[in-house]
Amino acid sequence: MPYKDPAIARAKARERSARPEIKAHQKELRDRPEAKERRKAYEKTEQFKKIRRKSEHDRNQRLKLFLMIHYGKGKAECVHCGFSDMDGLTLDHINNDGAAHRRQILKGKHGCKDFYRWVKRNNYPSGLQTLCSNCQSIKKARPNEFMPKQTAQLVLA
């Protein structure tokens, strides 16, 4: 008899599929040569590639959001000006040693996703902060004038 609550039905189905004899049978089916050929053919289709790209993009965006919140002191916003659009937020090396650090740890890989994954694998090291692209450009152009918002308010007061 089917369950009225769909969540219970899904939980029961997961429970059944987790049994060792069912897992062994599923592996046996997957390891058949005709199943492997079908899988290889499907992986070459444009539909599969589109789904793969979308899921990888979503995974990278979730990781970026998590890192921006972690290094943005609990909020996904620039620690200097408060800008909060995810497309404009970046991770910044506080000591301005980002290029050397990335060369050292990434060893030829490029892109933010590789760096974000490294940060996660290495338990979120200190020395990073969330800045918007604009504040990061200003920091690069005028490093001596750029200071955290709280320090700037103290100097002006």
Q: What is the pLDDT of residues 106-157, one digit of tens each?
A: 777 777 788 888 889 899 888 899 999 998 888 888 877 766 554 444 444 4
Rg (CA), the chain: 23
Cβ-proximal residues to 135 (8 Å cutoff; 6+ apart), any chain: 78, 80, 81, 83, 146
- Is the Cβ–Cβ distance between 90 and 131 less than 8 Å? yes
Neighbouring C-alpha atoms within 13 Å toward the C-beta of 39: 8
The better pLDDT of the pair 42, 10 is held by 42
pLDDT of 3 > 80? The answer is no
- Is the Cβ–Cβ distance between 146 and 138 less than 8 Å? yes
Helix axes 20-30, 33-43, angle to 10 degrees: 70
Cα of 21 vs its chain's centroid, Å? 35
Q: What is the pLDDT of residue 155?
A: 41
The angle subtended at Cα 134 by Cα 137 and Cα 110, nearest 5°, is 65
pTM attached to this predicted model? 0.68
Helix axes 112-121, 46-71, angle to 10 degrees: 60
Q: What is the pLDDT of residue 152?
A: 44
